[in-house]
Amino acid sequence: MGTVMRGPRQQPADAGGVSLSRPGSQPGSVLMLLAALLLNLTVPCAEVSAQPAKPSQSEVQAVYLFDFAKFVRWPAELPAGSLDICIAGQPAYVDSLKKIVAGESIDGHPLGVRLLQHPGDEAGCDVLFIGAAAKERLDSLIAATASKPVLTVSDIPGFLDRGGMIQFVLIENRVRFSVDLGPVTRGGISLSSELLKVAVHVKPSGGGAP
């Protein structure tokens, strides 16, 4: 089956002083930009500082959700229309994401953001973030999107063990992520090797050690 690789956005966006993409950037710069994101977008400490406030954890994760979408190879038959990033259990992400994706498109698909409030709302999602407030719905949401081209992401502990694809983790006060390629493969999508290079852990589709 053919695949469509979502290309990088063309306009620069600034989050915490880090440019996530630049006009005319070369493919080889992707890893450098992601590394800059990892090093500079950190969860703020409680200490009072004269320096400008760092982005919050939710803001950092919202930026990641947008960037993840750019490094997914989606099925070639992806329907026309918007590419939707859906949020379950984390309403605060919606406003942040809407600002981030305003006017943006990936491979000709405008980006949409919506909050899941009722069973079945996950239909049509391309990226699904499941927040801690939706923990009780976690298994049902994973079951509803299993074997479908939906990138599932969460910061709920043990998310990968329950069938999720990408899990946010905090390491030395920085937001990082781990990946399980098993459900990714079963969903009929794949992740760019550039994205996998900056993951802290990648579980191969066959299981076992990376």
Give Dmax (Cα) for the chain.
Answer: 54
Q: Could you tell me how many residues make up the chain?
A: 210
CA dihedral 58, 14, 54, 56 (to 10 degrees): -10
Q: Which residue in this structure is represented by tokens 């994973």? A: 142
* pTM exceeds 0.95: no
Tens of pLDDT, residues 20-36: 333 333 334 444 444 44
Tens of pLDDT, residues 117-162: 888 889 989 999 999 999 999 999 999 999 999 999 999 999 999 9
CATH number of the domain where residue 39 is located: 3.40.50.2300
**Cβ(138)–Cβ(151) below 8 Å:** no
3-state class of 3 per DSSP?
Answer: strand
Q: Is residue 42 in a domain?
A: yes
Q: How far apart are CA 106 and CA 104, in angstroms?
A: 7
Q: Is residue 210 in a domain?
A: no
Number of domains in the chain: 1
Q: Is residue 208 in a domain?
A: no
Q: Is residue 25 in a domain?
A: yes
Q: 4 - beta bridge partners?
A: 74
3-state class of 164 per DSSP?
Answer: coil
Q: How far apart are CA 150 and CA 142, in angstroms?
A: 10
**Cβ(73)–Cβ(115) below 8 Å:** no
Q: Is residue 103 in a domain?
A: yes
Q: Is residue 209 in a domain?
A: no
Q: Which domain does 133 fall in, by range?
A: 3-203
